[in-house]
Amino acid sequence: MTDVQGDSSGRAGRQRVLPVTDRLWTVPNLLSMLRLALVPVFVGALAQRELGWAALVLVVSGVSDFADGKIARHYGLTSRLGQVLDPVADRLYIAATVIGLAVVQVIPWWLVVVLFARELFIVLLYPVVHRYRLPIPEVTFIGKAATFNLLGGFPLVLLGHLPGWWSVLCLASGWALVWWGTVLYWVTGLVYGWQVSVMARERRGSGVPG
C-alpha cells in the first residue's frame, strides 16, 4: 500500500496524496495480517511435501497482496499501520517462500542469495537513513509489481513440479515471472539507494547535522 498515487489524468509530474489514517482494523490491514498468518501454513505444507497446498497458499497470498493496495487506494483506507505492515508481510512471505522452496529443491540456492543480497543492500542503507532521519521508502508501483511477479511465479514453479500436462507450461510461465520479479526487486532497491543518496546530500547541503 502507498499513500501516493499517480493522478488518473496521467499528466507527468502530477500526483495526488491520499489521506493516511490511524485506524488499525481496516480491510487492507486484515489482508496483510492474513498474509502473515499464512506463512506457517505455507511452511507446514512444504514440510509435508504437499506442493499443491503450498502453491494454493501462495496464490491466496498473492491475491491478498494485490487486493489490499487496491482497496486502500480506492476507499481511502491507507493507514500508518498498513504502511509498515504491508511491506513487512511481503518481505517475510518472500523470505519464507524462497528458503522453503530452496530446501525442497524447487529453486536453486543461488537465487536465494540474489534475493537476500538485495535485502542486505537495503539494510546497509540504514545507518545513512538513521543519521539523516530520512523517511521510510513508500511502496511504489514497481515494488508491488516485483512482489506480485514473485508471488505469482513461485506457485506456478511449484505446480510445475507436480506431474501432469500442465507442468511444462507452469514451469515456463512461472520462471518468467520469477525472473521479472527478481529484476524489478533489485530495481526498486537500487532506486531507493539513489533516493537515499540524494536526500542525504540535500540534508548535508541544508546544514542538517549528521
Q: What is the pLDDT of residues 14-67, one digit of tens each?
A: 444 556 766 777 877 888 888 888 999 999 999 898 988 998 998 888 888 778
Amino acid letter, 5: Q
pLDDT at 107: 93
Q: Other C-beta atoms within 10 Å of 52: how many?
A: 14
Mean pLDDT score of the chain: 82
Nearest alpha carbon to residue 174 among 162, 187, 186, 190: 162
Which residues, listed in sequence order, are joined to residue 15 by a DSSP beta bridge? Answer: 6
Inter-residue long-range contacts of 121-127, CB under 8 Å, 24+ positions, other chains counted: 121/189, 121/190, 121/193, 122/189, 122/192, 122/193, 125/192, 125/193, 125/196
Residue 186, pLDDT above cutoff 90 = yes
- Predicted TM-score of the model (pTM): 0.74
Backbone angles phi, psi at 17, to 5 degrees: -95, 125
Grouping H, G, I as helix, E, B as strand and the rest as coil, residue 15 is strand
CATH architecture of the region 4-205: Up-down Bundle (1.20)
